[in-house]
Structure 1
Amino acid sequence: MKINFLNVRFYKNKKLILLGITIIMLTSFISFLWWNKIQTISAQKDFNRYMDAWNKKEFKFMYSMIDEESSKKISEADFVKRYTKICNGIELKKVDVKIKKLEKNNDHKGTENINFEVTMDTVAGKLTFFNTAQLRQDKTWKIVWSSKMIFPELGDEDKVRVDTVDAKRGEIKDRNDKVLALDGTAAQIGIIPGKLGNDAGKSKEDVSKILQVAVEDINKKLSASYVKQDMFIPIKTISEDETERINSLLKVPGVMVNKKKARVYPLKEKAAHLVGYIQTINADEMEKNKEEDYKKSDIIGKTGLEKIYEKILRGKDGCEIYIVDKSGKRKKSLISKAKKDGEDLKLTIDSDMQSLLYDELSKDAGAAVAMDPKTGEVLALVSTPSYNPNDFVMGISEDLWKSLNEDEKKPLYNRFQSNLCPGSVFKPVTAVIGLKTKKIDEEVSKDISGLKWQKNKSWGNYFITRVEDYGQPTNLINALVHSDNIYFAQAALDIGKDTLQTELKEFGLGEKIPFEYAMSKSQFDADGDIKDEIQLADSGYGQGEILLNPLHLAVIYSSFVNNGNMIKPYLKYNGTGKTEIWKSNVFSKDVANTILKDLTQVVENPEGTGHQAYIEGLNLAGKTGTAEIKLSQNDVNGTELGWFAAVNTDNPKLLVITMAQDVKEKGGSHYVVPMVRKVFESFIIHK
C-alpha cells in the first residue's frame, strides 16, 4: 500500500492551524474577560472613593468625581451647599455603603451600573435604603450625578426637611411631690433694633445695667449679618419670677420679652448642690456618651442628681426626616422616630426641711444632713453658701461666674459631699469602741485634773487640753456631758492603735458609703495608719487626721437608735420605708443603750454642752463638736468648725447633723445648736 506523504503533511498542518486559531480565540476571550474584570474593579474602586468622600464630608472632592454632563447641571458651589445643608440638617454622622451588584450597562457604552445599599446614621436613627448609581468611563470612572444619588426619591428641585417633637425631661420631686426641677418657661429678653428710639445708645446701656450684659456683647448680637430692623434679637434669658427686672426692662424702648422653654429649679440656691443643673452637651460628653445617641443640641445633666439620674430623667426627642417638592408638599417620609419622655424622679427629701436648714445656715459656710434614722431615708442635704442653678441654665454672665469663683466662702464647693474634721462630735464613736473592747468602764472615774495633760515628757511641749475642770467623777457620762478631750485621749491610748483602727473600719471609715450621690470616703489617717501616740490620743476626741463625711456621721449616729446597726441611707423614694442595714452588729444593744442614755444627758443636763437644744416634752440625744483647724497647737490664727448632732429617742423619726465653719468668734459648736433645735421644733413638735 502506497502512503501519500503530501496529504499527511497537509492534514497535520491543518490541525496545527486550527489549534492556533483556537488558542488565539481563547486568549482573546480571556483577555476580554480580564479587561472587563479590570474595568469593573476600577469602576468599583472609584465609586468607593466617591462614597468615602461623602462619609468624610469632602464635598468638593465628590464634585470633582461627577461626569461632565452632570457638572453642567449643577455648579460646585451649589453641589457643596446642597450636600452640606442636607447632611447638617439630618445630623449625618456616618454613611455605610455595601455594593450589591455591579454590571455593564448595555444601553450606554462605557458605563457601569452599581446597585448598592446605604445605611445612614442620622438624627432620627439608622436610615437604610437601596440605590443605583451609573458610572461613565473617562480617564477615570465618573459619577453620573443627580439628586437621586442622595436619596432615590429626591428630585433636583426637592428639599429634605427635619421635624423634631420635643420630649419632656423627667421632673425631680420631693417626698410630698413638691417639684425641685421641671421643664417650665423663662423670660427671654430681646431687642428689636428698629424700635430702640432716638437714643439707641442709652437704651443699650440701660439693658446692659439691668441684665449685667456688656454693651459690647449687645452690639455684637445686634450687628450680626442676618439681623434686620424688625427682628427680635435675644440678649439674655432670666427667671420669670424676676418681675422687678422684667418691668424695668419693658420700660426701655425696643425691649421685648418672650417666653422660652427652660429647665426651672424652684428652690434655687437651697437645693442647688443636691439637684444640680443641666446645660447643652459638650464635645467631651458627646464622646463619653457616644452610645447614648445624643445630638449636638441636646441638654445633659452637668451636676448633682441631674447628672446622676441622667438616664432616667432624659427625654429623647421624636424626629422625622422627609422630602418635600418645590411647592413644599410632602412627598416621601424617609424615617421617623417617636419621642420618649423622661421618667420623673421622686426623692426622700423634704423640701420644707431642706429650705429651713438652708435658711438657718445661709450666712455661713456649712453643711447639714437630716435623715430618718430608722428607715435610712435622707430628708435634707444642704451645702452653704450656694448658687442659683437657674443662672447656669439661662446663661451665666462672666461677672457672676467670676464672683462665684472668687468668693472666699466657695459657693460652688459642695460641703455635704466632702470630708471634714469632726472634733468632739466623734467622741461617742470612741466611747462605743472603748465599751465594746472593755477598755472603758462607764462607772470608773479617770484620774484627771486641770485643763491640760500629757502622757509623759516624751511628748515635749504637746498637751491635750479641755475647756473646763468639772471635778469628779470623770467617768464616761460626765466626759460626754462636758465634752472632756483629756478623757477621750486617754481612752484612745487605752484602746490602742491597732484595735482602734480595726474598730473604726467596722464603722466604715475608708469605705465608700452605699449611697446614690457619691460621697468622700471618711478616714482615720491620710495613709491608713496612725503614726504615733499623740495622733492616737488626738484621734480619740475627733482631731488628729480623723475626717468624716457628714452623711457618714449621720449613719454612724443612726446605730445608737438601732441597737448597734448602721442604717443604709437612700435618696430615691420607694414608698415603703423599707429598712436596709449597711453595717450589722457593729456593737451590742447594751452599748447602744448606754451611749444613748449618756447623749440624752448632753441635752437634758443644764451643764451639758448641748443643753440649748433642750425641748420640754421631747427626748433628744445629742453631741456638740468644735473642731480646731490650725497648723500647730500654738497657732492662734486657726479657725473652728462647729458641729451638733441630735436624734429624738422616743420613736425616732429625725436625725440632724449640722456643721458651720469659722465659728471661733461665734461661740464654737454652741452657734449651731439652736439651728438644730429649730428643725426639731418645726418637724417633730409642731407636726
Structure 2
Amino acid sequence: MMEKTKLTAIFFAFILLLTACQQEEAEPTPEQPPEEPTETVESPEGRVADFIELWNNGDFPTMHSTYLNQGTQTVYGEANFVIWQQELHKQLGVENINVTYTKPDEDAEWNQDQPADFKINVSFDSIIGPVEFNKTLTLLYEQEDWFVEWDPSFILPNLEAGDQVTTAVVEGARGEIVDRNGKAMASNSEGYEIGVVPENFDLSKKQQLAQLLGVTEETIDGRLNQPWVQPHYLVPIAQIKADQSTLDELFTIRGTKQEKVVMRNYPYNRALSHVTGYVGPITAQQLAEWSDQGYTTENLVGRQGLEEVLQERLRGKAGGRIILKKQRENAVITSVENEPVPGETVTLTIDAELQKKIYTAMKEQPGASAAIDPTTGETLALVSSPGFDPNEFVPNITTSRFQELANDPLQPFFNRFAAVYTPGPVIQPITAAIGMESGTLDPAEGMDITGKSWQRYRSWGDFRITRPREDIKNPIDLNKALVYSDAIYFARQALNIQDNDFQTGLEKFGFGEALEFPIELTTSRISKDGTFGSEGQLADTASGQGQMQVNILHLANLYSPILTDGKLYKPMLYVSDEKSHLWNENLLSAANAKILRKSFSNTGEQLGIEIAGKSGTANERGKQTKWFVGYQASNPKLIVSMMIQGDARVEKMVEQALDTEE
C-alpha cells in the first residue's frame, strides 16, 4: 500500500511539473529591443605599418608614447618598454631587425568593439645567430584610433617582465683549407686550455708552470690579477698542444685544471706557411674595424696568407642559447637555441705533397718557386723559402720566439713568391717567341758573335751587353743561344724587332698587368714606367736584365704558351673557380713552340739533367740569383719555376721535385 502511495505522489508531481512547463510556454515572451548595429571604422593597417616601421628603426620612445594602448602603457612604463628593450638589444647584439606583417583581405571590415589581429614575423641577427619567431599583434580601438597591445614576448619568445636574460654562446668551428686531393693544409685539432684555481695553486710551482706552458711568470701573474678573479674561480692561463707527458707533469701541479679545446693545426708547417698564413688574437685595429660584425677580444682571426684573405669564408657562425631566468616560476628556460654553423671548407688547386717536395728540394735556401698546370692555369705549388711554422702562433707565439724569427737574416717571414726579381736569361725564350712571331727572328739563321761583350753604338758609353761565354763556335743560332744563354744574340734580335713590337709582345705575355689572384702578388714589369728609356735598356731587357722584374708564378705562366701552342691561362688558386680562364692566345705558333721545346731538351742535356727547361743567372742588387724553369718532356703537364738567392744547382732542385712525380 505504501508503494502505491509513493508512485501516486510521483505521478502527480510529474503532472504538475508538465502543466507548469506548458503554461510557461504558453505565456508570450516580452519583445527584446533590437541590437544596435555596431559602427565600422577605418582600417588599422596604416597604424600597424607605422608601428612596425618604428620597430624596425628601433624608435622605441615613439612606439611607446604614440602607439601603445592605455592598458599596455600603464603596465609597461617607459623603463620597461624603452630602456629594457634597448639594453637587451645591446646585450644580445641585435642587428638587422626585420618585422613584417600579413596584409588583411581587401574587403575586411573593422569594428570599434572588436580587436584587430595581425600576424607578424620578427627576425634579427644576434650573438648566437639568427632569431625568428611569429606572433599575433593585437590592436584595440580607443580614443577614436587604433592602439597596440604589447608585452615582452614581442622582444623574445616567452619573455616576461622581471625575467633575467643571459646567453651561452658557442662559436662555430673555423672552416678548413684543403688541397686539391682533400689533404688538410689548415685544420682543427684537439688542444688543452690550462687554468688555475688561485686558492689551491702552489705559488712555488709558478716557474715550472710557466716553462710547461711556454709563457712568462709575469703572464701568469697578469692572468691571476685580473679584476674579476676570485680565489675559488678557475682562471684560464694558456692554451697548448701538449703530449701526454707534458699533461701528466701539469697535472702534478696542485691547483691546475685542464680542459679540451679546439685549436688550429698546420700539418705542412714551413712548406705552406706563406700560403696558409696563421690565426692569432684579433688586433685592436681589426676589432675597431669589425666591431659591428660580432667580433670580440676573445676571437682568433686570420693574420696572414689565406687565413686572413678567407677570414669571412672560414669564420664559423656562432650558435648557443638565450636563457630566461623566470621571476614568477623561479625556473630557467631556453627562449631561443641555435646550433653553431661551421665555416666553409675551401679547396685549393695546390698539391700539398708536391709543395712539400719542392720546399724540401730547396733545402730552406732563400728563394721562391711555383708550379702550374699550363693547360688550365691551376697553381699546383707556391713556395717561399725559408718558411716558418704557423703552429708556433697557435694560440700565441712568445715575444722572444717572434723576435728570434724576425731578426733571422734569412727572413722567414718575408714572402718571396709575392715579390718580383730580376729574371735574367730565363726571359730569353719569351724574347725569342716575340721575335719569331714578328718575323724578324729566323731560328735556323746563324749570327757571328765575337768577344765577351758588345754594344751597338759608341753612344752607349760605358754600357755593354755581356754574355756568359765567348768560346761558343760561330755561327750562333737560336738553339745555341738558348743553351748557352747568349745575351748578345738576344740583344741584337730584340733590337731588330720593329717599332714597339717587343714592348707590345711582352705586354701580351702579361707584363704590367696585375694578376687577379687571392694572395696579393707584385706585378711583373718591363721597367719602372713600363717603357724602354733607351736602346741599351731594351737590349738588356731581352735577357731579363735592366729594370725588368718578374714574379715567380707569372714566370711559370710565361712558359705555358710554349707547351700549349700559344695559349696563356690566368693563374688559379681555388678549385671552385671556373676552369681555364684564357688570358691570351695566338702568342706562339705550333711550329715555333716546337722549336723552343727542342732547345729546352737540348739545354737539359747540356746541364746533365733528365728534364727540359731553361736556366739562368741574374744580378739582383749586386748579388747573384739562380733561376730555372722546367718540365718533364715525357709529361709536360707541370711547369716548375724556381729562383734561389745565392749559388745553387737550382736545375737539380727542380729535377728532384719533378722526379718524384708519377
TM-score (norm 1): 0.73
C-alpha displacement of 1:321: 2.9
Match for residue 172 of structure 1 among 169, 173, 177: 177
The residue that corresponds to 1:525 in the other structure is 527
Give the Cα separation in 2 of the matches to 1:380 and 1:421: 21
The residue that corresponds to 1:424 in the other structure is 425
C-alpha displacement of 1:371: 2.2
The residue that corresponds to 2:612 in the other structure is 621
The residue that corresponds to 1:594 in the other structure is 595
| 1:315 counterpart SS class | coil
| Equivalent residues of 1:645, 1:657 under 8 A apart | yes
Q: In the alignment, is residue 495 of structure 1 matched against residue 497 of structure 2?
A: yes
| Equivalent residues of 2:60, 2:81 under 8 A apart | no
C-alpha displacement of 1:502: 0.6
C-alpha displacement of 1:594: 0.8
Query: Over residues 337-359 of structure 1, what are the superposed CA-to-partner deviations in whole Å (9 max), with x where a residue is unaligned?
Result: 55433332222222211112222
The residue that corresponds to 1:535 in the other structure is 537
| Equivalent residues of 2:280, 2:396 under 8 A apart | no
| 1:381 counterpart SS class | strand
| 2:641 counterpart SS class | strand
Give the Cα separation in 2 of the matches to 1:248 and 1:152: 49
| Equivalent residues of 1:488, 1:541 under 8 A apart | yes
Sequence identity (%): 32
Q: How does 1:636-647 map to 2 (within 5 A)?
A: 638-647=622-631
Q: How does 1:373-412 map to 2 (within 5 A)?
A: 373-412=374-413
Residue type matched to 2:533 in 1?
K
Residue type matched to 1:657 in 2?
S
C-alpha displacement of 1:164: 3.9
| 1:368 counterpart SS class | strand
Q: In the alignment, is residue 463 of structure 1 matched against residue 461 of structure 2?
A: no
C-alpha displacement of 1:571: 2.5
Q: In the alignment, is residue 559 of structure 1 matched against residue 561 of structure 2?
A: yes
Give the Cα separation in 1 of the matches to 2:154 and 2:375: 68
Match for residue 653 of structure 1 among 624, 628, 637: 637
Give the Cα separation in 2 of the matches to 1:382 and 1:548: 15
Give the Cα separation in 1 of the matches to 2:218 and 2:282: 27
Give the Cα separation in 1 of the matches to 2:395 and 2:155: 39
| Equivalent residues of 1:278, 1:300 under 8 A apart | yes
Residues 253-262 or 351-360, more deviating: 253-262
| Equivalent residues of 2:281, 2:396 under 8 A apart | no
Q: Name the CA shift for 1:370/1:152 in 2 (closer, same or farther; >3 Å).
A: closer
C-alpha displacement of 1:546: 1.1
Give the Cα separation in 1 of the matches to 2:156 and 2:314: 36
Q: Name the CA shift for 1:336/1:454 in 2 (closer, same or farther; >3 Å).
A: same
The residue that corresponds to 1:603 in the other structure is 604
Query: Over residues 577-634 of structure 1, what are the superposed CA-to-partner deviations in whole Å (9 max), with x where a residue is unaligned?
Result: x6553321111111111111111111112xxxx43xx13xxxx21111222122xxxx
Match for residue 238 of structure 2 among 221, 231, 236: 236
Residue type matched to 1:674 in 2?
K
| 1:218 counterpart SS class | helix
C-alpha displacement of 1:517: 3.8
Query: Over residues 310-366 of structure 1, what are the superposed CA-to-partner deviations in whole Å (9 max), with x where a residue is unaligned?
Result: 454443233443533246635573x55554333322222222111122223353221
C-alpha displacement of 1:369: 0.9
| Equivalent residues of 1:369, 1:658 under 8 A apart | yes
TM-score (norm 2): 0.75
| Equivalent residues of 2:490, 2:542 under 8 A apart | yes
Q: Name the CA shift for 1:455/1:256 in 2 (closer, same or farther; >3 Å).
A: farther
Q: Name the CA shift for 1:206/1:496 in 2 (closer, same or farther; >3 Å).
A: farther
Aligned length, in residue pairs: 593
Give the Cα separation in 2 of the matches to 1:132 and 1:218: 57
Residue type matched to 1:169 in 2?
R
| Equivalent residues of 1:277, 1:304 under 8 A apart | yes
The residue that corresponds to 2:483 in the other structure is 481
| 1:169 counterpart SS class | coil
The residue that corresponds to 1:41 in the other structure is none
| 1:394 counterpart SS class | coil
Q: Name the CA shift for 1:191/1:660 in 2 (closer, same or farther; >3 Å).
A: farther
Residue type matched to 1:621 in 2?
A
C-alpha displacement of 1:176: 2.4
Q: How does 1:187-226 map to 2 (within 5 A)?
A: 187-197=192-202, 200=203, 203-226=205-228
| Equivalent residues of 1:369, 1:380 under 8 A apart | yes
Query: Over residues 51-90 of structure 1, what are the superposed CA-to-partner deviations in whole Å (9 max), with x where a residue is unaligned?
Result: 76999xxxxxxxxxxx99999xx9x9x9999889745541
Q: Name the CA shift for 1:152/1:277 in 2 (closer, same or farther; >3 Å).
A: closer
Query: Over residues 240-293 of structure 1, what are the superposed CA-to-partner deviations in whole Å (9 max), with x where a residue is unaligned?
Result: 46x6765665565555443211222221222122123345666765787799x5
Give the Cα separation in 2 of the matches to 1:250 and 1:80: 51
Give the Cα separation in 1 of the matches to 2:201 and 2:82: 39
| 2:550 counterpart SS class | coil
| 2:356 counterpart SS class | helix
| 2:459 counterpart SS class | helix
The residue that corresponds to 2:147 in the other structure is none
Unpaired segments of 5 or more residues in structure 1?
1-43, 56-66, 99-114, 134-144, 631-637
The residue that corresponds to 1:511 in the other structure is 513
| Equivalent residues of 1:239, 1:390 under 8 A apart | no
C-alpha displacement of 1:539: 0.3
| Equivalent residues of 2:366, 2:644 under 8 A apart | yes
Give the Cα separation in 1 of the matches to 2:599 and 2:178: 38
Give the Cα separation in 1 of the matches to 2:238 and 2:83: 32
The residue that corresponds to 1:305 in the other structure is 306
| 1:502 counterpart SS class | helix
Query: Over residues 137-158 of structure 1, what are the superposed CA-to-partner deviations in whole Å (9 max), with x where a residue is unaligned?
Result: xxxxxxxx99889769544542
C-alpha displacement of 1:523: 1.0
| 1:374 counterpart SS class | coil
The residue that corresponds to 1:676 in the other structure is 654
| Equivalent residues of 2:61, 2:82 under 8 A apart | no
Q: How does 1:223-302 map to 2 (within 5 A)?
A: 223-240=225-242, 254-279=255-280, 294-296=294-296, 300-302=301-303
Q: Name the CA shift for 1:332/1:372 in 2 (closer, same or farther; >3 Å).
A: closer
| Equivalent residues of 2:196, 2:235 under 8 A apart | yes
Q: In the alignment, is residue 354 of structure 1 matched against residue 371 of structure 2?
A: no
| Equivalent residues of 2:562, 2:588 under 8 A apart | no
The residue that corresponds to 1:185 in the other structure is 190
Give the Cα separation in 1 of the matches to 2:288 and 2:61: 22
Q: Name the CA shift for 1:222/1:54 in 2 (closer, same or farther; >3 Å).
A: farther
Give the Cα separation in 2 of the matches to 1:438 and 1:221: 74
| Equivalent residues of 1:464, 1:489 under 8 A apart | yes
Q: Name the CA shift for 1:339/1:379 in 2 (closer, same or farther; >3 Å).
A: same
Q: Name the CA shift for 1:279/1:79 in 2 (closer, same or farther; >3 Å).
A: farther
| Equivalent residues of 1:367, 1:550 under 8 A apart | yes
Q: In the alignment, is residue 321 of structure 1 matched against residue 299 of structure 2?
A: no
Give the Cα separation in 2 of the matches to 1:89 and 1:429: 62
| Equivalent residues of 1:419, 1:547 under 8 A apart | yes
Match for residue 572 of structure 2 among 554, 570, 573: 570
C-alpha displacement of 1:410: 3.0
| Equivalent residues of 2:93, 2:294 under 8 A apart | no
The residue that corresponds to 1:25 in the other structure is none
Give the Cα separation in 2 of the matches to 1:564 and 1:585: 5
| Equivalent residues of 2:194, 2:259 under 8 A apart | yes
Residue type matched to 1:383 in 2?
S
C-alpha displacement of 1:298: 5.5
| Equivalent residues of 2:371, 2:641 under 8 A apart | yes
